Chains A and B, each alone.
Chain A
Amino acid sequence: MMNRRTILASGAALAAGAVLPKAASAATPAETPAGAAYSNRRQSEARARALTAKPLAPGLPNRDYMPVVAPNTGTLPFQIVDGVKVFHMVAMEFWNEFAPGLKALVWGYNGMLHPVLEAVEGERVRIYVTNRLPEPTTVHWHGLYVDNGMDGLSGVTQTPIKPGETYKYEFNLVEPGTKMYHSHYDEMTQIALGMTGMFIIHPRTPRYRVDRDFAIMLHEWDIVPGTYRPNPLQMTDFNVFTMNGKSFPSTHPLVARTGQRVRIRLGNLGPMDHHPIHLHNYSFQVVASDGGDYPPSAWQPETTVLVPVGSTRVVEFDATNPGDWAMHCHMTHHTMTQMGHHFGNMIGVKPGNLGEKMRQLLPRYMTMGEDGMGTPMNMPTLPNTAAMEGGKGPYGFINMGGMFTILKVRDGITSYEDVGWYKPLAPPGTVSQLAVPAQMKHDGVNPQNIPPPIPGPSSPATTPM
């Protein structure tokens, strides 16, 4: 029986149906002309077929692919058994030195932070995961197309791996890409303590080859100065930022020969923060993510690539300009190690008699930070802490730490070992230096001519003592 309300409702439905195109009301969006144009259904179906297809022969490094260089960490070993590439990952606790003076107990795999799993498209992998942690764990294959039961999500697709147990994951690698893996049990704790890494699946037939291929996992930690274990409860105030588990100056440089095509794969499975990674000098192209390769028409020229949490970005460029080129997160606090955020803003303070008054009771007091924080103080501080900033460079102290490394491009090198600083190789006249007064005068530059100051408010201190 229809009353006024149901009649109105059915009338509204009829009216809506009358204005919708016929296809939209009867079929899924993918079957619309527009949906078909943008659908990756064919690709998805191919993936599904590949999942159960007979795997291809296992690929071997330096024969079927050029292994990546993962500075400061390593690639997990494998063996081939009956045509299957077999890995063994051991989830465990171990010490990691983040930077000189700073060690902490972390959780990772096989005694390494962010070790790389490296394989080839079309092959089958069998990955054993042994749990040596005090709590259960699982491994999720982030971005990989796998059977549902291999997805590694505790409670949804599998039971957790209890301490002491070993689980087996096995699947075909159906598509290439810069993928990742991470714990998917008590993620807040286990990811914060380091249980992440990159899973690189090389294409069976690359579209092109690069000369240098680097893999770097980004991460952030909260290690309170004087402690020996990252704090997984931290949500906002992280103070240690790493590339493959190291903060500058412990990050190994990326070395390339002038003219080489360089690929840098960046992954971010840190707890909370995205990282805009900037490379000095070069305009690179963003060519892929963990979702797959971008078509060349979509390659985007950038000098900074934002690597969001839970994603990878792959950039490539031609290393045409030799030198020492910094690559770092452009969030300024991410290039400081263990910066204290409770010190107080001392910039602009005129110390006057402050030190004298303080030292009446605290003889070791020293006023700091009033002129900026770029000069290291080298005063005795808490145990197990790293200097906030980097270290000695060819032109003095390097005011950067944390998520910072250096791309070293050199002419004609035959080894990628430490190539030293570029300073002695810099051609004359190509290094910034103290300006010569005569030239300044010639160029009409007078340092005494400064813009008149803009008057500020009346003295902010209204209660002088």
Chain B
Amino acid sequence: MLMLAEKTRRAFYRAVGDAQIVALGENIEKGQSAALTLARKLRQAGNTPPLAYDQDLSLYEHVRLQVAMDEAAFLEDRQRLFTLMGLWGAQGHARLPHRLPLPQHDISLAGLESRAVSQNLRLEAANKRLAAFAAVVKVSGLAGILPGASIGVNYVRDPDVRGTLGPAISVPLPIFNQGQPAAAMAISEYRAAYRHYQAVAIEVRAQVRERWVALHALAREVIFYQKIMLPLRRRIVDETQASYNGMFDSGFLLVESKIDEIKTARRFVISLERYWRARAKLQNTVGGHLSDQRPPQAPIETSHSTQEKTP
């Protein structure tokens, strides 16, 4: 169930991201189409050779192909989402939100591991198994079967793991079969369960750290695009426009600067999409919300198109 939730979340973010990428691709196509119009008019005026026009035509056709591929990817991913959500019939026309939300606050690693250990279902299952074996050991009365054996209590105390009571058993060397194999098996199974519990706890904690590091890196990448690259690209467009106004640079360079800006927005959306998918994986590992503050919701919409405005 948890796996399904995670897969659905990831499919949702991918589909919303895809829609944004398609919209941005359509803007790139508009820009390349404008450049091609300029190239055609220059050619018609007799000012440029056929080569110049064909080069622009090649760029335009390449962009058209890319947009078509983006659209196909979007439709495929949206269908996968709807399948996971169990939508069908008229529900299959549900619209996705316009854009992915921005990461709104940092997720601190502090406390995340302990929350994962306390909430993780696999760990819970391992713990229950361990408790069951502990009960078997207790019920079998190993102390009577094994004269000389001492049975005590081993209390496992870990700051991130709930306290666990376990047996502490020492068994003398068996000389005759007095039921020792069965006792040893019970003890062995208990120990195996205990080791398994420990392994799962370590794995969960390691996975939390690993996924948190990946998420943190992606959050930084998103912020890098949002705070640095996109404003810089906008400034470059403004400067190129000023240069064009003074007739220092060509209309082609102006369009190219705008397309570069949109391509940067495309990379930003890809980073954002990866961020949310990574966040879904971390959320699954932790087994619940990542912080007290719930993440911004991007609900399924039913009335808006997937068209994205120019960034």
- Given the interface contacts A350-B41, A352-B41, does A361 sit within 8 Å of B34 by beta carbon? yes
> Which chain B residues in 38-80 approach chain A with CB under 8 Å?
38, 40-48, 50, 53-54, 57
Q: Does A342 contact B242, Cβ atoms closer than 8 Å?
A: no
Q: A344 in the interface, Cβ–Cβ < 8 Å?
A: yes
> Which chain B residues in 208-265 approach chain A with CB under 8 Å?
237, 239, 241-255, 258, 262
Q: A463 in the interface, Cβ–Cβ < 8 Å?
A: yes
Q: B27 in the interface, Cβ–Cβ < 8 Å?
A: yes
Q: Does B31 contact A460, Cβ atoms closer than 8 Å?
A: no
- Given the interface contacts A361-B34, A465-B36, does A380 sit within 8 Å of B43 by beta carbon? no
B interface footprint on A445-465 (CB within 8 Å = 1, 0 otherwise): 000000000000001111111
Q: Find chain B residues with CB under 8 A from A380 CB.
A: 242, 245
Q: Does A357 contact B241, Cβ atoms closer than 8 Å?
A: no
Q: B310 in the interface, Cβ–Cβ < 8 Å?
A: yes
Nearest CB of B to A357, in Å: 4
Q: Does B31 contact A361, Cβ atoms closer than 8 Å?
A: yes
Q: Does B45 contact A350, Cβ atoms closer than 8 Å?
A: yes
Q: A349 in the interface, Cβ–Cβ < 8 Å?
A: yes
Q: A432 in the interface, Cβ–Cβ < 8 Å?
A: no
Q: Which of A47-55, A254-262, A362-370 contacts the other chain?
A: A362-370
Name the residue on A nearest B45 (C-beta): A348
**How distant is the Cα of A24 from the Cα of B310 in the complex, in angstroms?**
85
Which of A344, A348, A360 is B252 in contact with, Cβ under 8 Å? A344
Q: A276 in the interface, Cβ–Cβ < 8 Å?
A: no
Q: A385 in the interface, Cβ–Cβ < 8 Å?
A: yes
Interface of A is mostly: loop
Interface residues on B, range: 35 or more
Q: Does A381 contact B34, Cβ atoms closer than 8 Å?
A: no
Q: Find chain B residues with CB under 8 A from A382 CB.
A: 239, 242-243, 246, 248
Nearest CB of A to B151, in Å: 79
Q: Does A357 contact B37, Cβ atoms closer than 8 Å?
A: yes
Interface residues on A, range: 35 or more
**How distant is the Cα of A173 from the Cα of B31 in the complex, in angstroms?**
67
Nearest CB of B to A195, in Å: 28
Q: Does B247 contact A365, Cβ atoms closer than 8 Å?
A: no
Q: Does B249 contact A381, Cβ atoms closer than 8 Å?
A: no
Name the residue on B nearest A360 (C-beta): B30
- Given the interface contacts A349-B47, A353-B37, does A342 sit within 8 Å of B254 by beta carbon? no
Most buried by B among A362, A365, A367, A370: A362
Q: A225 in the interface, Cβ–Cβ < 8 Å?
A: yes
Q: Find chain B residues with CB under 8 A from A461 CB.
A: 40, 43-44, 53
Nearest CB of A to B180, in Å: 83
Q: A83 in the interface, Cβ–Cβ < 8 Å?
A: no
**How distant is the Cα of A317 from the Cα of B14 in the complex, in angstroms?**
82
Q: Find chain A residues with CB under 8 A from B271 CB.
A: none
Name the residue on B nearest A354 (C-beta): B37
Q: Find chain B residues with CB under 8 A from A385 CB.
A: 246, 248
- Given the interface contacts A345-B47, A365-B254, does A357 sit within 8 Å of B34 by beta carbon? yes
**How distant is the Cα of A352 from the Cα of B239 in the complex, in angstroms?**
26
Q: B33 in the interface, Cβ–Cβ < 8 Å?
A: yes
- Given the interface contacts A357-B34, A364-B241, does A340 sit within 8 Å of B247 by beta carbon? yes
Q: Does B45 contact A381, Cβ atoms closer than 8 Å?
A: no
Nearest CB of B to A449, in Å: 27
Nearest CB of A to B298, in Å: 27
Nearest CB of B to A354, in Å: 5
- Given the interface contacts A344-B252, A362-B241, does A388 sit within 8 Å of B247 by beta carbon? yes
Q: A379 in the interface, Cβ–Cβ < 8 Å?
A: yes
Which of A344, A349, A459 is B250 in contact with, Cβ under 8 Å? A344
Q: Does B241 contact A349, Cβ atoms closer than 8 Å?
A: no
> Which chain A residues in 316-375 approach chain B with CB under 8 Å?
338-340, 342-354, 357-358, 360-362, 364-370, 373
Sampled A-B contacts (18; CB under 8 Å): A225-B248, A226-B239, A340-B243, A340-B248, A343-B247, A345-B42, A349-B45, A349-B47, A354-B34, A358-B251, A361-B258, A362-B255, A364-B245, A366-B245, A388-B247, A459-B44, A461-B43, A463-B53
Of all A-B residue pairs in the complex, the 3 with the closest CB atoms, nearest first, are: A381-B246, A340-B248, A379-B245
Task: List chain A positions with a Cβ less than 8 A from chain B.
Answer: 225-226, 338-340, 342-354, 357-358, 360-362, 364-370, 373, 377, 379-382, 385, 388, 459-465
Other A-B pairs beyond A348-B46, A362-B237, 13, CB < 8 Å: A343-B248, A344-B47, A344-B252, A353-B37, A354-B37, A367-B251, A368-B247, A381-B243, A388-B247, A460-B46, A464-B40, A465-B36, A465-B37
